[in-house]
């Protein structure tokens, strides 16, 4: 029989739990474990914990909603087995929360939201594949990274606003955003890794709303591994989404598990515009010197590490580009078109 488990503060200041739950002390933090596998709701609203407290939902697999807001002295929440949240996953206005772990979460049917949690430092959703509404991060002042390496679709907007210490947004497999893209006021942002984004689909008759502003210049002017092409191109692309090809055994695997042909990039390499011309880098992999084969001549070339750091710039067209002084590894080549507006990204493996 499913049930709701609440943490209740009574007048005496003691805590009351269901019979299946128990508490321990560890390093002056009260650890509260819940043993339920399914709950109707995880709900903490306006709770003032009497001492630093960590909540562990040890066996929880599914719940209708996670709602944690306006708490004090709640320092950590762990969901080690949680797979599915059927409603909202909302974490907001928790003054002391600095850790939230849910490594096996795959699906959030509604909104996944983090709002004004001033001490929360990192968000890792290693298995998350889909959200049914917003992916929303607003004014989490100590947040430095958001990592969801398996996320493929957001059925709603992607929204990052005024997370002042946020450096990395890592969503490398994101294919579709079903509303708008808004990244604004994240003044420490160095890496916006949404390399495989194929479509922004506006649910109304209006064009997709795309807005990047008041972040770092790297993101606003030439974002790493993603470029804001025209809404028409993002909305109407007919190219297939990335897929696995069992016949690619002769191709070389790069560090991210993507395929690189010996002479030119794979069809699924990330691009920052819908290419009107064929563009390839060769040799690829390279031992230090490479050329660009294209029907147009680029006016500037930038080389980025896989982490998003700019490591080399060539400000005029060259017959060959020498990066032999860089360490071996995977790089991204950002080539600016003659119009000064559009650009193309290609992967390059340096041996």
pLDDT recorded at residue 103:
93
pLDDT computed for residue 205 by the predictor: 57
- What is the per-residue pLDDT for 247? 37
CA 151, CA 196: separation in Å to the nearest integer? Answer: 11
In angstroms, the CA 270 to CA 347 distance is 8
Q: What is the pLDDT of residues 199-238, one digit of tens each?
A: 887 655 555 677 888 998 878 776 656 443 333 333 333 3
pLDDT higher than threshold 60 for residue 263:
no
Do 58 and 39 contact (CB within 8 A), yes or no?
Answer: no
What distance, in Å, lies between the first and last C-alpha atoms of the chain? 58
Q: Provide the pLDDT for residue 316.
A: 79
Burial of 206 (0-12, 13-18, 19+ CB in 10 A): exposed
Give the model's pLDDT for residue 223.
63
Among the residue ranges 13-22, 44-53, 276-285, 333-342, the one predicted with the least confidence is 13-22
CA 274-280-286 angle, to 5 degrees, is: 140
Higher pLDDT, 332 or 264: 332
Q: How many CB atoms lie within 10 A of CB 215?
A: 22
pLDDT at 13: 28
* Range of lowest pLDDT (28-42, 58-72, 295-309, 318-332): 295-309
3-state secondary structure (DSSP) of residue 196:
coil
**pLDDT tens-place string over residues 279-299:** 889 999 999 999 998 888 888
**245: number of CA atoms within 13 Å, CB side?**
15
Q: What is the pLDDT of residue 337?
A: 80
Q: How far is CA 60 from CA 38, 86, 92, 299, in A?
A: 6, 13, 21, 55
Fold of 259-350: Immunoglobulin-like (2.60.40)
Q: Decide the pairing of beta strands 48-57 and 89-92.
A: unpaired
Q: Which two tokens stand for residue 226?
A: 């993603």
Which tens digits make up the pLDDT trace of 94-151?
999 999 999 999 999 999 999 999 999 999 999 999 999 999 999 999 999 999 999 9
pLDDT at 219: 83
pLDDT band at 10 (very low <50, low <70, confident <90, very high): very low
Higher-confidence position of 158 and 255: 158
pLDDT at 196: 78
Residue with token string 């080389």: 303
Distance CA 176, CA 155 (A): 8
**What is the rounded distance in angstroms from the CA atom of residue 123 to the CA atom of residue 119?**
12
At 218, give phi and psi (nearest 5°). Answer: -60, -40
- Asked if the model's pLDDT at residue 189 lies above 60, the reply is yes
Over 60: is that where the pLDDT of 87 sits?
yes
Residue 306 and residue 256: Cα distance in Å, rounded?
A: 9
pLDDT at 23: 54
Q: Which residues of 325-350 are buried (b: 16+ CB within 10 A; e: fewer)?
A: eeeeebbbbbbbbeeeebbbbbbbbb
Residue 301 has pLDDT above 80, yes or no: yes
pLDDT on residue 321: 92
Euclidean distance between CA atoms 109 and 44, whole angstroms: 20
Neighbours of 226 (CB within 10 A): 23
Q: What's the pLDDT at 235?
A: 39
For the chain, give the number of residues. Answer: 351
Please state the rounded mean pLDDT for residues 324-337: 86
Rounded to whole angstroms, how far apart are CA atoms 22 and 289? Answer: 62
Give the pLDDT score at 331: 86
Positions of E strands within 149-241: 153-154, 158-161, 168-170, 176-177, 180-184, 191-193, 199-200, 209-213
Domain boundaries, the chain: 8-236, 259-350
CB 319 within 8 A of CB 291: yes
Please, which residues bridge with residue 114 across strands? 91, 137
């Amino acid at each position: 029989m499913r049930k709701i488990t609440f943490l209740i503060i009574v007048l005496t200041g003691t805590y009351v739990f269901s019979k299946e739950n128990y508490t321990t002390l560890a390093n002056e933090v009260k650890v509260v474990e819940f043993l339920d596998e399914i709950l109707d709701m995880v709900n903490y609203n306006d709770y003032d914990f009497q001492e630093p407290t960590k909540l562990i939902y040890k066996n929880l697999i599914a719940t209708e909603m996670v709602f944690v807001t306006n708490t004090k002295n709640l320092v950590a929440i762990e969901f080690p087995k949680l797979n599915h949240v059927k409603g909202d996953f909302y974490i907001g206005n928790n003054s002391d929360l600095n850790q939230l772990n849910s490594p096996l979460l795959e699906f959030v049917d509604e909104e996944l939201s983090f709002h004004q949690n001033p001490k929360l430092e990192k968000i890792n959703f290693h298995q998350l594949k889909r959200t049914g509404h917003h992916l929303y991060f607003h004014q989490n002042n100590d947040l430095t990274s958001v990592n969801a390496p398996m996320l493929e679709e957001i059925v709603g907007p992607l929204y990052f606003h005024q997370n002042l210490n946020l450096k990395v947004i890592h969503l490398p497999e994101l294919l579709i955003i079903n509303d708008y893209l808004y990244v604004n006021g994240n003044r420490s942002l160095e890496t916006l890794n949404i390399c495989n984004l194929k479509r922004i689909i506006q649910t109304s008759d209006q064009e997709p709303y795309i807005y990047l502003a008041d972040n770092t210049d790297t993101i606003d002017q030439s974002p790493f591994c993603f470029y804001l092409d025209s809404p028409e191109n993002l909305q109407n692309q007919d190219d297939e989404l990335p897929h696995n090809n069992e016949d690619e055994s002769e191709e070389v695997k790069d560090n991210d598990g993507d395929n690189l042909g010996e002479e030119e990039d794979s069809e699924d390499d990330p691009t920052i515009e819908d290419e009107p011309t064929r563009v390839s880098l060769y040799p690829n992999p390279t031992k230090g010197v490479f050329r660009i084969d294209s029907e147009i001549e680029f006016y500037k070339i930038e080389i980025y590490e896989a982490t998003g750091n700019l490591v080399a710039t060539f400000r005029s067209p060259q017959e060959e580009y020498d990066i032999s002084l860089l360490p071996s590894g995977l790089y991204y080549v950002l080539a600016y078109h003659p119009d000064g507006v559009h650009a193309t990204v290609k992967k390059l493996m340096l041996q």
